[in-house]
Amino acid sequence: MVGTIRQDQRDGVAIIALSQPPLNTLTAQMRRDLDQALAQAMTDPDVTAIVLHGLCDRSARGLSAGLDLREAEAGFAPPQMADICRRIEQSETPVVVVMHGVTLGAGAELALAAHARLATGEASIGFPDVIMGLCPGAGGTQRLPRFLGVQGALDLLLSQHPRPLRSRQLRALIDRLVPEDDDPEAAGIALARSLAADVAAGGSLRRSCDLREGLADFAANSSAIATRRAQVATSANIAGARIVDCVEAACLLPFEAGLAFEAVAFEDLLASDVSRSLRHATFAERRTANMPDLVGVTPRAIKQVALVGGGVAAANLAVAFLEAGLPVVQFERSDAALSAVRERVTAGQAVLVRAGRLTPEAATAQIARWQGTTQLSDLAGADLLIEAVADTLSTKQQVMAALACAARVRAGHDIRSA
């Protein structure tokens, strides 16, 4: 085993397994280890074929989930995924990739660069780059249209969701579908030996860069590009437009020029404010799910909720809390306003009754737990206070100051607001 890679050799077939579960993320260390393992296998005279997979650990969820975008701020250290993919594609030694689980982003680009691909029945592939305001950066926009055509490639590149490789739309991406009872690694070795035998007999390898099937219908591809370009034109996320541009480049430019075009787009997007913001928001959301300070902390019991304000949003919150079984006390400035709030709450319940989510009897029992008040002091007994005033910032600040006084009556501390 070399770092994040496990290596084996069986009768002339080198087996390279990504071994950094559960995601097999293509970190800088894994890229170095993978590049070294490939170079070693490709220069070994005893190796006639290579099988690459992520099956060495049952906890691995797929071949790879792609790059670790936390490395983006300091810049991705070499080797770059584009260079690794090009090494695989240009290899004279056949490279077969076995795909299982979910293969995403740069992991999918790695698979597309191979000379053949196998997939298990549940395997899926996706390009979530656009979610982060990015386009693929290792040849995905150039190789995918060669397999699927422009329409199929853009459907996958812009969808944000993985799709099953066994589907009719994506079947062109894989050479064989591994039967459920077969060993995927053994199937990969068998296919690799078959390719090696073809090469030994004078045959040539099928390289993705040389494919033309998906690019043959110029009129259909041009129409698909125009349609997609119009669809993404109004999006604040500029990545969609750049992906369309890159796929168009695959149709118009030589392969090497298309790769260079994609590389520029990737670097531009990586440095853009849009991508920086989307990456920051994503990582911040992930951190909230992993906060050491909260380990072992028992959540505070919520037995009553207080709402300040009576607009549509506040009424919808009241309906939700009542449906969850919590008593609600709701503040408004006048009895007339409170009467309007109650009507909004009962109207919200009526929608749930018509949808079959709530019985009339349950609605009656829930509204009995709703209390309206014009006195902020009545909110002091609540475990959760929510300000939902649809007004100016100064009004909100006044309300929060008053709520702080009401809260101190019971809790002994002030309220902090964002």
User: What are the domain boundaries of the chain?
Assistant: 5-281, 305-410
Q: 365, 406 in Cβ contact below 8 A?
A: no
C-alpha to C-alpha distance for 205 and 14, rounded to whole angstroms:
17
| Strands 95-99 and 13-18, bridge-based pairing | unpaired
The long-range contacts involving 182-185, CB below 8 angstroms and separated by at least 24 positions, are: 184/53, 184/55, 184/98, 184/100, 184/118, 184/120, 185/15, 185/51, 185/53, 185/55, 185/98
Residue type (1 letter), 300: R
Q: Minimal CA–CA distance to 138: which of 265, 4, 268, 245?
A: 265
Q: Residue 205 corresponds to which tokens in the numbers above?
A: 């390898």
Q: How far apart are the first and last CA of the chain?
A: 50
7-21, 253-267, 395-409: least confidently modelled range: 395-409
| Number of residues that this document lists for the chain | 418
The yes-or-no verdict on residue 320 having pLDDT over 70 is yes
Q: 342, 314 in Cβ contact below 8 A?
A: no
For position 418, what pLDDT does the model report? 37
Element (H, E) at 125: strand 124-126
Note the pLDDT tens digit of each residue in 162-200: 999 999 999 999 999 999 889 999 999 999 999 999 999
For position 367, what pLDDT does the model report? 96
C-alpha to C-alpha distance for 367 and 359, rounded to whole angstroms:
12
Strands in 102-104's sheet, in edge-to-edge order, are 102-104, 124-126, 163-164
Distances (CA, A) of 60 to 56, 96, 111, 207, 219: 8, 19, 16, 28, 42
C-alpha to C-alpha distance for 333 and 375, rounded to whole angstroms:
8
pTM assigned to the model: 0.71
Q: What is the CATH number of domain 5-281?
A: 3.90.226.10
Q: What is the mean pLDDT of the chain?
A: 90
Same fold, 5-281 and 305-410: no
Confidence of residue 396 (pLDDT cuts 50, 70, 90): low
For position 403, what pLDDT does the model report? 67
The yes-or-no verdict on residue 283 having pLDDT over 60 is yes
Residue 263 half-sphere exposure, CB side, CA atoms within 13 Å?
12
Mean pLDDT of 78-92: 97
Q: Return the CATH class of domain 305-410.
A: alpha beta
DSSP SS3 for 391:
coil
Quickly list DSSP for 321-354.
Answer: HHHTT--EEEE-SSHHHHHHHHHHHHHHHHHHHH
150-154, 329-333, 389-393: least confidently modelled range: 389-393
Q: 37, 9 in Cβ contact below 8 A?
A: no
Note the pLDDT tens digit of each residue in 54-67: 986 667 788 999 99
Q: 3, 32 in Cβ contact below 8 A?
A: yes
Quickly list DSSP for 249-304.
Answer: HHHHS-HHHHHHHHHHHHHHHHTSHHHHHHHHHHHHHHHHT--GGGTTPPPPP---
The yes-or-no verdict on residue 394 having pLDDT over 80 is no
Mean pLDDT of 218-245: 94
For position 392, what pLDDT does the model report? 65
Mean pLDDT of 192-210: 95
The yes-or-no verdict on residue 414 having pLDDT over 90 is no
Element (H, E) at 86: helix 81-90
Note the pLDDT tens digit of each residue in 397-407: 776 776 666 65
